């Protein structure tokens, strides 16, 4: 073997040794045990302290409140959703007191009206709905059904009432189109009010031959709308608000 090759081999092997030594020195313990990462990192993340104790932890002491909540619309809202993280409260055996939000701003986070919220979710207009009063004067947050039966549709349907008030249908009562059983006031989601189902329901006022004031716009139900339902194009709470 030529001398220069031998010398080259020596250099290469010295470098290889250096590499191996440096590698064992730099690569942290447990690296590669589960994958291309430090195995110890899993433990250090898994053992971080918990702030939210979880929904079952509250039951040990507050089962009475839970009983009330279980039969209410708030049954699926966990305690810590409103009262905040509870682990400290538990560890200090109740010395560290949890927050109980009492201002209107808090309830409105969920129950303030927004068109982006799913239909059917109970929403109010915080400006129109019993202004200034704290929500808890009428509603118990653990069983939020109102103790008094709402007198007017606008108590719950504030936004629709407001929209309708500025529309050509302002003078129509809600019950003109929505046949509402008395039970709906007590049990709003179990017993629902009626809705117009056929074109003829609008025709009571808007058909050519319908009785009533001349100012009511009339249409020919045979030819208008290609057989679509009226509310496929017209929003009944604010029909034809914009002249195009």
Partner 1 sequence: MNEDKVERRSFVKTLVGLVATAGAIPLLSTFDKIYASANDTENELIGGKRYGMGINIKSCIGCGRCVDACKRENNVPRDPYHFRTWVERYAILMSGETKVDSPNGGMEGFPAETSEGEILRSFFAPKLCNHCSNAPCVQVCPVGATYTTPDGVVLVDKDYCIGCRYCIQACPYGARFFDPATRTASKCTFCYHRLSKGLLPACVEVCPTQARIFGDTLARASQLTRFFRFNEIQVLKPDLNTRPQVFYAGLDGVVR
Residues in region 26-55 near partner 1 by CB under 8 A: 28, 31-38, 41-42, 44-52, 54-55
CA distance 76 to 70: 8
Q: Quick count: other Cβ atoms within 10 Å of Cβ 6?
A: 10
Secondary structure class of 28 (helix, strand, coil)? coil
Is 212 an interacting residue with respect to partner 1 (CB under 8 A)? no
Is 10 an interacting residue with respect to partner 1 (CB under 8 A)? yes
Q: Which is nearer to partner 1, 44 or 137 (CB)?
A: 44
The interface mask with partner 1, positions 97-126, x = CB under 8 A, is -----------xxx-x-xxxxx--x-----
In this structure, what token pair is assigned to residue 82?
């409103």
In this structure, what token pair is assigned to residue 107?
């309830």
Stretch that binds partner 1, among 18-26, 183-191, 195-203, 205-213 (CB under 8 A): 18-26
What Cα–Cα distance (Å) separates residue 176 from each residue in 129, 196, 201, 213, 234? 23, 10, 10, 16, 17
Is 14 an interacting residue with respect to partner 1 (CB under 8 A)? yes
Are 186 and 149 in contact by the 8 Å Cβ rule? The answer is: yes
The interface mask with partner 1, positions 72-91, x = CB under 8 A, is --x-xxx-xx--xx------
Q: In angstroms, what is the minimal distance from the CB of 235 to partner 1?
A: 10
């Amino acid at each position: 073997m030529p001398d220069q090759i031998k010398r080259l081999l020596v250099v290469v092997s010295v470098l290889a040794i250096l590499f191996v030594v440096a590698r064992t020195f730099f690569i942290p313990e447990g690296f590669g045990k589960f994958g291309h990462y430090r195995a110890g990192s899993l433990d250090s993340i898994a053992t971080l302290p918990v702030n939210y104790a979880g929904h079952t932890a509250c039951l040990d002491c507050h089962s009475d409140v839970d009983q009330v909540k279980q039969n209410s619309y708030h049954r699926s809202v966990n305690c810590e959703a409103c009262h905040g993280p509870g682990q400290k409260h538990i560890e200090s055996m109740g010395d560290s007191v949890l927050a109980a939000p009492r201002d209107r701003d808090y309830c409105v986070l969920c129950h303030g009206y927004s068109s982006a919220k799913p239909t059917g979710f109970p929403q109010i207009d915080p400006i129109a709905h019993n202004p200034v009063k704290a929500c808890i004067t009428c509603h118990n947050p653990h069983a939020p059904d109102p103790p008094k039966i709402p007198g007017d549709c606008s108590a719950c349907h504030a936004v629709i009432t407001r929209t309708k008030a500025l529309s050509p249908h302002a003078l129509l009562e809600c019950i003109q189109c929505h046949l509402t059983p008395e039970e709906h006031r007590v049990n709003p989601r179990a017993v629902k009010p009626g809705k117009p189902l056929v074109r003829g329901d609008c025709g009571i006022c808007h058909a050519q031959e319908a009785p009533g004031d001349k100012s009511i716009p009339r249409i020919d139900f045979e030819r208008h709308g290609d057989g679509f339902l009226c509310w496929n194009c017209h929003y009944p709470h604010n029909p034809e608000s914009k002249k195009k």
